[in-house]
Amino acid sequence: MTPSATAPAATPGAASPAAAPAPAPAAAPAVDRPLLIELLTVAQRRLARGLTAQLEAEGCTLDQWRVMRALTDDAGRSMGELAQTLLIPQASLSRIVDALAEAGWVYRRQDEHDRRRITAHLSRRGHTRLTRLDALAAAHDAAVRTACGSEDPGPLLRHLTEA
Q: Where are the domains of the chain?
A: 54-148
- Category of 103 on φ-ψ map: left (φ > 0), alpha (ψ -120 to 50) or beta: alpha
| CATH, domain 54-148, list 2.20.28.90, 3.40.50.300, 1.10.1420.10, 1.10.10.10 | 1.10.10.10
Give residue 27's pLDDT. Answer: 60
Least Cα distance to 67 among 56, 51, 78, 53 occurs for 78
Give residue 29's pLDDT. Answer: 61
3-state SS assignment for residue 153: coil
Give residue 131's pLDDT. Answer: 97
d(CA 37, CA 91): 26
Tens-level pLDDT at each residue, the chain (163 residues):
544 445 445 545 445 555 666 666 666 665 688 899 998 899 889 889 999 999 999 999 999 999 999 999 988 999 999 999 999 999 999 999 999 999 999 999 998 888 888 999 999 999 999 999 999 999 999 988 888 787 666 655 665 566 5
pTM greater than the 0.95 cutoff: no
Residues 6+ apart with CB under 8 A from 52: 61, 62
